[in-house]
Amino acid sequence: MAKTGTDEPQLSQETDCGEPTSQIKNEWSVAKTESQNTVKIEVICTDDGESSTHSTGVLSEEQIRKKKISKHEGDGVPAGERDGGEVLRVPPLLCDPALSQPEPVPLTPQQEGMIQQLVAAQQQCNKRSFSDQPKVTPWPVSSDPNSREARQQRFAHFTELAIISVQEIVDFAKQVPGFLQLSREDQIALLKASTIEIMLLETARRYNHETQCITFLKDFTYSKDDFHRAGLQVEFINPIFEFSRAMRQLQLDDAEYALLIAINIFSADRPNVQDHGLVEALQQPYIEALSSYIHLNRPQDHLMFPRMLMKLVSLRTLSSVHSEQVFALRLQDKKLPPLLSEIWDVHE
């Protein structure tokens, strides 16, 4: 399909502190910007009283609300003096003990088994998705690409790909150790909230930085222009490709993607979750496994673990943009299939 040559707006890029040493204290804090009603995540590296601040992402008010921890004295960042707002603490999962470990710690047998199970489950679910490829409405090849029929066919093509992706995510979640321990209500709540974010992670995984295209089901390749012709808004398309490009730069392997997705699934602050304690307890082993895995395989990159987790923050923002996209589709009288309407809480 045609590759778009449209220049893309540059979003704010992540910047990391210099390579930490044993003398450097890596501290995570969050500065709230009142004018934007958002919370900005920052890395503050201090060494003998010196500090430098690097913006790394945006976190929604709802996500940080329950995780706010009071500022204790002597940490070098007075409340209210950064960006004119209040300084909040990042959840403990971002303060990785492995950042200061002198030597990598081998994975435990339990962690190795868990990672192998996750990767195998993803591969199995992918294979099942490939078998659904012939069922997808063909992308139209028409002399009049702007005809009503061609537009409807492109929209049907994309929604059917989305259905296959949702089914794959649900199948994978059922195989994630611990997920079936949750009540049915909490399983549904977690899946409804995390599905679009996992879809975006999988989209980033399939991004080709050379062609600037995304490939689904092996053979379906799409440019930004193709997304637009399928009925999606530029305001949603550009962030998808920007996020995909940033994720590809991290060069994650299958294990890291699988662990990141598992961590995303077990997010206790999702709407309508009832047993927050159990969800947090189920998430913790995946956080620890990802931390150990990264420290073992990327011993020189001390900030890779928090950098990866910051991508989950970016996904929250993208999820909000997706909600606006769904609303825009409804205004255009484009009806979503029942499965997508249910998973995204679209009420006709």
In whole angstroms, give the CA distance from residue 225 to residue 2.
Answer: 8
38 vs 98, higher pLDDT? 98
Looking at mean pLDDT, say which of 22-26, 61-65, 75-79, 281-285 comes out highest: 281-285
Please say whether the dihedral angle defined by the alpha carbons of residues 54, 320, 325 and 202, taken in this order, is positive or negative: positive
Q: Where are the alpha helices (DSSP H) in the chain?
A: 61-65, 109-130, 148-175, 184-205, 224-229, 234-250, 254-265, 276-297, 304-331, 338-343
Name the region of 231 (left: φ>0; alpha: ψ -120 to 50; beta: rest).
Answer: left
Chain-wide mean pLDDT for the chain? 73
Residue 55 in this model has a pLDDT that exceeds 60: no
pLDDT score recorded for residue 23: 34
Q: What is the mean pLDDT of residues 178-204?
A: 94
pTM confidence score: 0.70
Domains, the chain, with CATH or none: 109-344 (1.10.565.10)
Which residue type is seen at 45?
C
Q: Distance between CA atoms of 114 and 204, rounded to whole angstroms?
A: 23
Least confident of 9-13, 158-162, 228-232: 9-13
What are the tens digits of pLDDT across the range 72-130? 334 443 333 333 333 333 445 445 444 445 577 889 999 999 999 999 999 988 877 76
- Nearest Cα residue to 87 out of 15, 31, 143, 168: 31
Distance CA 130, CA 280 (A): 33
Instruction: Give the pLDDT band (50/70/90) at residue 296.
Output: very high
What CA–CA distance (Å, rounded) separates 223 from 154?
A: 13
Q: What is the pLDDT of residue 330?
A: 64
Strand partners, 19: none
